[in-house]
């Protein structure tokens, strides 16, 4: 499930993610960017702030 701020992941996936970890996105923010993101921080139980190469900051909302 997608929303306007990012790619939704299974909520349990967010619990195991830490800052500095690379994750694979279900889909890229644009067709010109990679589908990998570096986790910058966890701002809530269901929200990660990440950085996608050639795109920039990208919020991910967990289910």
The DSSP code sequence of 1-59 is -EETTEE-B-HHHHHT--TT-EEE-SS-SSTTS-SEEEEEEEEETTEEEEEETTTEEEE
The pLDDT tens digits of the residues spanning 5-63 come to 444 455 556 878 889 998 888 778 888 888 889 999 999 888 899 999 999 999 988 87
Please name the residues in contact with 13: beta carbons below 8 A apart, sequence gap of 6 or more.
62
Q: What is the pTM of this model?
A: 0.76
């Amino acid at each position: 499930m997608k929303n306007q701020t990012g790619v939704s992941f299974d909520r349990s996936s967010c619990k195991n993610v830490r800052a500095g970890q690379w994750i694979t996105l279900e889909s890229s923010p644009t067709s010109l960017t990679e589908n990998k993101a570096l986790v910058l921080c966890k701002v809530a139980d269901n929200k990660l702030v990440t950085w996608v190469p050639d795109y920039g900051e990208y919020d991910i909302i967990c289910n």
